Copies of this chain bind each other. A is one copy, B any other.
Amino acid sequence: MANPGDKVQIIYDDKAVEGILMPDSADSLFLKLESGYNIGISKEKVKEIKVVEARKDTKKGKSDIPEKKGLKKIIVLHTGGTIASKVDYSTGGVIAQFTAKDLVDMVPEIKDIANIKCELVANMMSEDMMFSDHQKIAAAVKRNAEKGADGIIIGHGTDTLTYTAASLAFMFERIDIPVLIVGSQRSSDRPSTDAAMNLICAARFIAETGFKGIAVCMHHHSSDDKCAILPATKTRKMHTSRRDAFRAINTEPIAFIDFKLGKIDFLNKPSDMTKGILLKDRFENNVGLLKTHPNMDPELFAFYTKNYKGFVIEGTGLGHAPTNLGEDNLKNHKILKDFIAKGGIVAVTSQCINGRVHPDVYTNLRRLSNIGCIFLEDMLPETAFIKLAWLLGNYSPEETKKLLAENLRGEITERTEYEEEFI
């Protein structure tokens, strides 16, 4: 009988395929092919399963890599995610695993760019992250920066990579080394993996530029020629599976790294005079994110105002929420008004993602701004959520209201003259 992990040949229809057997579901078998891709085969169709080679349990040694003189010292903090993933035979998908030596085994080129040390901070898929995980990552960044690291790479699951990037950007009021968050959309056992190129580009960017601060480093094209350094508070995962899923929103990337030519081009050279490290790492847990839509239930608004100290509305268009016509919508308006009157904070962003909200153009917008909703310009809803939780963790509600609409970490871009015309 074949077991998960065995190399098998499966005969079905008129075909035979060979691969590593993964755990099955109720009606299908799954094989991981030599190419790294998975296929599912309906159990009904399977005629025969032959074990070609029984599963081998291999153990890898763990060791540091010898240091080279003259190279910068980069610490790679690992938190899990696809970038460190291998097939997980307990459930058949891909889960996070990581040992220090694995990284240099996977990306040998990195040894010649910098002296690499690895540290395992967490081992999880990023959708499960809590603020406490962000705090752990920040603590590891601080510790390593204080011990003399020239730069830090954080390996991270792609799902909530940009939430963590924003979180670190707010937590570090000052950080005087480069901290790049790197993920991979395809796991390292696939030919199309982007793990190696993203890591190499991040290491080169740290080794060859004087950049300081938090940023994201990911594929820029789906071809393997360029990575982008993306702003921590204005980047969004815009595709479920493409390698070039990460895009700067309402702004440009900070820089491009040409993978083949090794050239680095800054689009906006940051003039950063930052000295030292200042970490403010508290968060308020009772903060929410509420996306509006037609037929909104007033009970949902009521839940948010009852349970949270503040929340971010991901409204429609220029920052609308259903608050005007109809009995239910009028209820929504009253609920928001009472909440704000009692000290609650309501911030407004847009589900359009691109562009800027505005408190003045339409009657309904004025209705929201008149009761004290705070319009967050061109801030991403996800960044706004992180910022609100961070502000309420570290500042009074009054300070929070003031700081929310101010640009602290590049999360708001100034309105241009061209835009001004279209208010």
Contacts and interface: CB of A to CB of B under 8 A. Distances in A.
Interface of A: 25, 30, 37-40, 88, 90-95, 124-134, 158-160, 163-164, 167, 186, 192, 237-242, 245, 283, 285-286, 288-289, 291-295, 297, 299-300, 303, 307, 314-326, 328-329, 350-358, 360-367, 369-370, 382, 385-386, 389, 419, 421-423
A200 to B, nearest CB: 22
Contact of A128 (B38, B326, B366): B326
Nearest to A308: B297
Contact of A239 (B129, B314, B352, B363): B352
B356 A127 contact: no
Contact of A124 (B325, B352, B360): B325
A240 B303 contact: no
A423 B38 contact: yes
A363 B127 contact: no
Nearest to A37: B421
28 contacts: A90-B363, A95-B362, A124-B325, A125-B363, A126-B316, A127-B321, A129-B295, A132-B326, A134-B294, A167-B294, A237-B351, A238-B354, A239-B352, A239-B354, A239-B355, A240-B318, A240-B319, A240-B350, A240-B354, A240-B356, A240-B358, A241-B422, A242-B354, A285-B295, A289-B293, A291-B291, A297-B307, A303-B303
A322 B366 contact: no
Nearest to A158: B317
